[in-house]
Amino acid sequence: MAAPTAYAARTEYARTDYALIATDLDGTLLRGDDTVSDRSLAALARVSAAGARHLVVTGRPAPRVRPLLDALGGGGLAVCGQGAQLYDAGADRLLWSVRLDRELAETALGKIEAEIGQVYAAVDQDGVDGLTLIEPGYLMPHPTLPAVRVGHRDDLWCAPISKVLLRHPTLSDDELAAVARTVVGSLATVTMSGPGTVELQPCGITKATGLALAARHLGLSPEQTIAFGDMPNDIPMFDWAAHGVAMANAHPELKAVADEVTLSNEDDGVAVVLERLLARAQYAPKTLSMEP
State the Cα–Cα distance between residues 46 and 167, nearest whole angstrom: 40
Q: Residue 145: its pLDDT value, please? A: 83
- Report pTM: 0.89
Q: Residue 56: its pLDDT value, please? A: 97
Task: Residue 163: name the closest of 203, 209, 223 by CA.
Answer: 203
Domain boundaries 102-201, corresponding CATH code? 3.30.1240.10
In tens digits, the chain (292 residues) has pLDDT values of: 333 333 232 333 345 689 999 999 999 999 999 999 999 999 999 999 999 999 999 999 999 998 888 888 767 899 999 999 999 998 999 999 999 999 999 999 999 999 999 999 999 999 999 999 999 999 988 877 899 999 999 999 999 999 999 999 999 999 999 999 999 999 999 999 888 899 999 999 999 999 999 999 999 999 999 999 999 999 999 999 999 999 999 999 999 999 999 999 999 999 999 999 998 875 433 332 223 2
Domain boundaries 20-97+206-283, corresponding CATH code? 3.40.50.1000
Q: Name residue 152's amino acid.
A: H
| Long-range Cβ contact pairs of 280-285 (< 8 A, separation 24 or more) | 280/16, 280/17, 281/13, 281/14, 281/15, 281/16, 281/17, 281/50, 282/14, 283/13, 283/14, 284/12, 284/13, 284/14, 285/11, 285/12
CATH 3.30.1240.10, the chain: domain bounds: 102-201
Q: Residue 7: its pLDDT value, please? A: 27
Q: Residue 98: its pLDDT value, please? A: 97
